[in-house]
Amino acid sequence: MNFLKGLLNFLVLQHLLLQLCSSLDTIKFDQPVGDGDFLVSKNETFVLGFFSPGTSTNRYVGIWYKFSEDLVVWVANRDNPINGRSGVLSIGSDGNLVLQANTSQGLVPLWSTNVSISSASNGNISAQILDSGSLVLAQQGSQDVFWQSTDHPTNILLSNMKIGLDRRSGINRFLTCWNSDNDPGTGNVSLRMEPNGSPQLILYKDDAKWWRSGQWNGIQWGGIPAVQRNVVFKINFVNNQDEIAVQWTVLDPSIYSVITIDGSGTLNQLSWQDQQHQWVSLWSAPLDACDSYGKCGQFGNCNPYTNSGFNCTCYPGYEPTSPQDWDLRDGTDGCKRPQDSLSMCRNGEGFVKMKNVKVPDTSSIKLENNLSIVACEEECLKNCSCLAYASADVRNGGTGCMTWYRDLMDTKQFTEGGQDLYIRVDAVVLAQYKNKSGGGYFSGRRRLAIILVVSISVASLLILAVLYWFRKRSRKGRGGEPRFLKDPAASGVRSYEDLPIKNEVDEHRGDTDLPFFDLTTVVAATENFSSANKLGHGGFGTVYKGCLADGQDIAVKRLSRNSGQGVDEFKNEVMLIAKLQHRNLVRLLGWCIHKEERMLIYEYMPNRSLDLCIFDKNRKSLLDWRKRFQIIIGIARGVLYLHQDSRLKIIHRDLKASNVLLDGSMNPKISDFGMARMFRDDQIEANTNRVVGTYGYMSPEYAMDGLYSTKSDVFSFGVLALEIISGRKNSFQFENTSLNLVGLIWDLWTEGKVLDIIDSSLNQSYSTHEVMRCIQIGLLCVQENATDRPTMLDVVFMLGNETNLPHPKKAAFSFKTGGPDSSMSRGASSVNDITVTVIEAR
């Protein structure tokens, strides 16, 4: 009898276990989920259960990745938390999924799927967590889905989820951020599909437009040229009578990637790095100042690549609405047409093309998909209210027609990507732009005026040339050379008649558009290279402060005859810097060659070089943490421009503290491009037998093998960032086997004591979290293996965004004894107040 009773109990228990195992991913009518229970998707990708975010004690029902519990991808009761662990998630009597709290007043409903389900189906309803991350409410054994969590996203977009409007059901899918890390409640930032006009994604903050993707141009979102279909993921955009939505799909099932928004107004694409066990940011928006909606107001174009410090320009034929605000670097009031401009209604007007732009907000445009671009121009021209037009689809040379009739807002300039926008202008402006492009037309009176001006100019130039020739001959008859140098030998000039470089000016003046300064001007500006004007000295020569006749301060780098920077390096620096324009690069004003004299004329930096500040115990206190952080970011942006955003792809090869100059506001400017090298767009690295640079800043692959790439500059930047944080120089000598700065910081990092390295002059006036992030970014840049180091684009993003950072691997040169192969011969010369070490491999 006892045996039969035991057997019966065993069979009942086995039945219950089998029933439980069969529903590990499912909630059935008679199987609710309580706090402490979990559902796991079939392939164990996602988990559904109760959780408490951050430091909160409130309980919520959510879904997260099984391998990453800290990333909750969906929350049911985000605005109705449970106080305590009394929550129960079950199938209600009406077939809906309902969350209730067991209180002293009984079960209190806090959340429900709240859909209409026929009573005939109620007993067969279940909710299942799928490997896609979706919680689905459906009839068992049927394909009918009554409700799914992916139609009601919170702050995260998973692969295959949609954003947009389902016109059949009326469901509008959009993301909203959490209130905070401790509160998943509906926040003030949302990402929504704007269905009007030509559809686009818009990020709202406090119900105001914050950022927009640009319209779908047939290939990608027009305002995000860097994000497009590739072998990893694809973007599907649908706009038909059933829905208007975009679906983002990861093609490789082994890759986990999500798109998130947060309360700061940032859109992030994250990817799970299994080796590092963390989420890493791949892309984010807004990316720069010009991504801020309406940065330059109506009819204003924002260019993030300008070197003037001000991003805004007006459309062709427009002028600033408030010139005073414009002068104060505030372009939010935008632009307007001048009062004296001609009518643009059947009065000879036309269109001027703006190339490579994110076209203005398309919310209120007129869209006609069947028109060609030629027909689009005709359509806009015959309607006097039409202000601009562009192709709706950039494929096949451009098809479809978008026309604007209201203020044009939020235009951004790209160097690559974007599309053409055609702006309506009056007849005068149209003629001006046609003339600039070489296709202008002139009235008889205007043509005559131009001929007269050209004739007079040519005659004047001929007269000046003759006078210059006579003056030169007369000076040669009196001994030829100028007599303003007090002591030519002391100045490194000697007897000019005997020098080997006599015709440098004639050979090289035509190689660049950069202004040429004659020696007389430079000597006058520097008061004959007075010792009182000397700013610095090294093996390359001397830098002097000067003042031109118009009052402009300049810095003159005067190369000595024995300079490590020879004629080739001199020409290299002139040719390179003449093509570079960025707010964080020093501006080259001109150059001078006279016989053996070679000089570069720069803008004057009143605060001299960075090393004179951070390594001087009296001056380093001038740089608080906020200023140091801005200097680190400025240097990073300057190097990013060299690597990616300039017309040339440039490796600096000598980035260090003495080659970073500080202007009057302590803004950093990278200088000294004598050692820089240009790369092709498709070139990854190069090799040299002549290694130039400075020990302590050289990457190991460059110092040892002569291999240099953009990752060489990344290494130098990392060293420089750590120096700025610590206020210490990364001295590196083969004869001295003591631990260098990088090695010291690496050891402190592994011991959890890295805050000990922070410059004591900061006096605790810094954000510990921010400093720790910068140290971690610095260590990522100085990793031994070049492939492990981030790109400068990654660095700029990490510095400007609160994202999870990878854990750095061992830093290069972090040894306490020994050194590199002593079979290398070492020599030293100097460039721009710095020691340049030349290694020639035997």
Q: CA of 257: how far to CAs of 158, 232, 273, in Å?
A: 7, 10, 10
Residue 3 covered by a domain: no
Residue 738, pLDDT above cutoff 60 = no
Residue 686 covered by a domain: yes
DSSP sequence for 525-592: HTTTT-GGGEEEEETTEEEEEEE-TTS-EEEEEEE-TT-SS-HHHHHHHHHHHTT---TTBPPEEEEE
Which one is predicted more confidently, 241 or 735?
241
Residue 105 has a pLDDT of: 82
Task: Determine the Cα–Cα distance for residues 353 and 343; give it in Å rounded to an integer.
Answer: 19
Task: Determine the Cα–Cα distance for residues 638 and 507; give it in Å rounded to an integer.
Answer: 31
Residue 708 has a pLDDT of: 82
Residue 242 covered by a domain: yes
Q: CA of 374: how far to CAs of 282, 398, 421, 439, 511, in Å?
A: 39, 10, 13, 19, 41
Which residues are registered as beta bridge partners of 598?
559, 593
Q: Is 557 labeled as ligand-binding?
A: yes
**SS3 (DSSP) at 801:** coil
Residue 382 has a pLDDT of: 93
314 and 257 in one domain?
no
648 and 511 in one domain?
no
Task: Determine the Cα–Cα distance for residues 63 and 316; give it in Å rounded to an integer.
Answer: 52
- First-to-last alpha carbon distance for the chain, in angstroms, is 94
Residue 500, pLDDT above cutoff 80 = no
Residues 6+ apart with CB under 8 A from 621: 761
Pair 707, 685: CB distance under 8 Å: yes
Q: Output phi, psi for 282, to 5 deg.
A: -100, -30
Residues 6+ apart with CB under 8 A from 562: 539
Q: Which residues of 173-188 are buried (b: 16+ CB within 10 A; e: fewer)?
A: bbbbbbeeeebbbbbe
* CB neighbourhood size of 107 (10 A): 13
Task: Determine the Cα–Cα distance for residues 136 and 145; give it in Å rounded to an integer.
Answer: 7
Task: Determine the Cα–Cα distance for residues 101 and 34; give it in Å rounded to an integer.
Answer: 10
The CATH number given to whatever domain includes residue 180 is 2.90.10.10
Residue 475 covered by a domain: no
Residue 300, pLDDT above cutoff 90 = yes
530 and 598 in one domain?
yes
Torsion region of 410: left, alpha or beta (phi above 0 gives left; psi -120 to 50 gives alpha): left
Q: Choose one of 249, 267, 287: the last residue of a domain.
A: 287
Which residues are registered as beta bridge partners of 233?
250
Residue 474 covered by a domain: no
The CATH number given to whatever domain includes residue 540 is 3.30.200.20
Q: How many CA atoms lie within 13 A of 820 on its CB side?
A: 21
Q: Which of 244, 226, 265 is nearest to 417 (CA)?
A: 226
Pair 125, 146: CB distance under 8 Å: yes
- 536-548 confidence digits (pLDDT tens): 776 567 889 999 8
DSSP designation for 699: -
Task: Determine the Cα–Cα distance for residues 217 and 215; give it in Å rounded to an integer.
Answer: 6
Sign of CA dihedral 207, 209, 211, 212: positive
The residue with tokens 């790439």 is: 709
Task: Determine the Cα–Cα distance for residues 674 and 398; give it in Å rounded to an integer.
Answer: 44
Q: How many domains would you assign to the chain?
A: 5
Residue 517 has a pLDDT of: 87
The range of the structural domain enclosing residue 366 comes to 290-436
Residue 404 covered by a domain: yes
Residues 6+ apart with CB under 8 A from 531: none
Which one is predicted more confidently, 682 or 520?
520
237 and 259 in one domain?
yes
427 and 306 in one domain?
yes
Residues in the chain: 842
Rounded to 10 degrees, what is the CA torsion of 521, 522, 523, 526?
120
Which residues are registered as beta bridge partners of 352?
423
Residue 485 has a pLDDT of: 37
Residue 441 covered by a domain: no
Task: Determine the Cα–Cα distance for residues 283 and 797; give it in Å rounded to an integer.
Answer: 8
Tokens of 502: 């006599």
* pLDDT tier for residue 834 given thresholds of 50, 70 and 90: very low
* pLDDT tier for residue 562 given thresholds of 50, 70 and 90: low
Span 130-149, average pLDDT: 90
Of 42-46, 67-71, 194-198, 394-398, the one with minimum mean pLDDT is 394-398
Residue 451 has a pLDDT of: 58
101 and 69 in one domain?
yes
Residue 56, pLDDT above cutoff 70 = yes
Q: Choose one of 588, 604, 620: the last residue of a domain.
A: 604
Tokens of 503: 């015709």
Distance from the Cα of residue 674 to its chain's centroid: 27
SS (H, E, C) 428-450: HHHHHHHHHCCCCCCCHHHHHHH
Tokens of 377: 């121009």
Task: Determine the Cα–Cα distance for residues 548 and 500; give it in Å rounded to an integer.
Answer: 30
Distance from the Cα of residue 47 to its chain's centroid: 35
425 and 351 in one domain?
yes
Pair 149, 135: CB distance under 8 Å: yes
At residue 224, what is the residue type? I
Q: CA of 30: how far to CAs of 26, 89, 90, 124, 736, in Å?
A: 11, 11, 8, 11, 75
Parallel, antiparallel or unpaired: strands 312-314 and 300-302: antiparallel
Span 503-512, average pLDDT: 44
At residue 379, what is the residue type? E
Residue 584, pLDDT above cutoff 60 = yes
Q: Choose one of 580, 604, 628: the last residue of a domain.
A: 604
Of 300-304, 328-332, 739-743, the one with minimum mean pLDDT is 739-743
Q: Which residues of 244-265 are buried (b: 16+ CB within 10 A; e: fewer)?
A: bbbbbebeeeeebbbbbbbbeb
270 and 159 in one domain?
yes
Of 255-259, 278-282, 473-477, the one with minimum mean pLDDT is 473-477
Residue 681, pLDDT above cutoff 70 = no
Pair 115, 12: CB distance under 8 Å: no
Percent of the chain having pLDDT more than 70? Answer: 79
**Mean pLDDT computed over every residue of the chain:** 81
Residue 538 has a pLDDT of: 60
- 317-373 confidence digits (pLDDT tens): 999 999 888 888 899 999 999 988 889 998 899 999 999 999 999 999 999 999 999
400 and 305 in one domain?
yes
Cβ neighbourhood burial of 270 (10 Å; 0-12, 13-18, 19+) = buried
510 and 647 in one domain?
no
Residue 252 has a pLDDT of: 83
* pLDDT tier for residue 491 given thresholds of 50, 70 and 90: very low
Task: Determine the Cα–Cα distance for residues 591 and 611; give it in Å rounded to an integer.
Answer: 25
Residue 259, pLDDT above cutoff 60 = yes
Most confident residue range from 452-461, 535-544, 809-818: 535-544
Residue 106, pLDDT above cutoff 90 = no
> Which residues are catalytic, by number?
654
Residue 827, pLDDT above cutoff 80 = no
Q: CA of 425: how far to CAs of 120, 317, 352, 561, in Å?
A: 67, 6, 7, 56
Residue 298, pLDDT above cutoff 80 = yes
Q: At CA 644, angle to CA 639 and CA 645, rounded to 5?
A: 90
Pair 384, 346: CB distance under 8 Å: yes
661 and 611 in one domain?
yes
Parallel, antiparallel or unpaired: strands 135-139 and 125-129: antiparallel
Q: Output phi, psi for 675, to 5 deg.
A: -100, 0
Task: Determine the Cα–Cα distance for residues 394 and 461; give it in Å rounded to an integer.
Answer: 48
Residue 7, pLDDT above cutoff 80 = no
Residue 445 covered by a domain: no
546 and 619 in one domain?
no
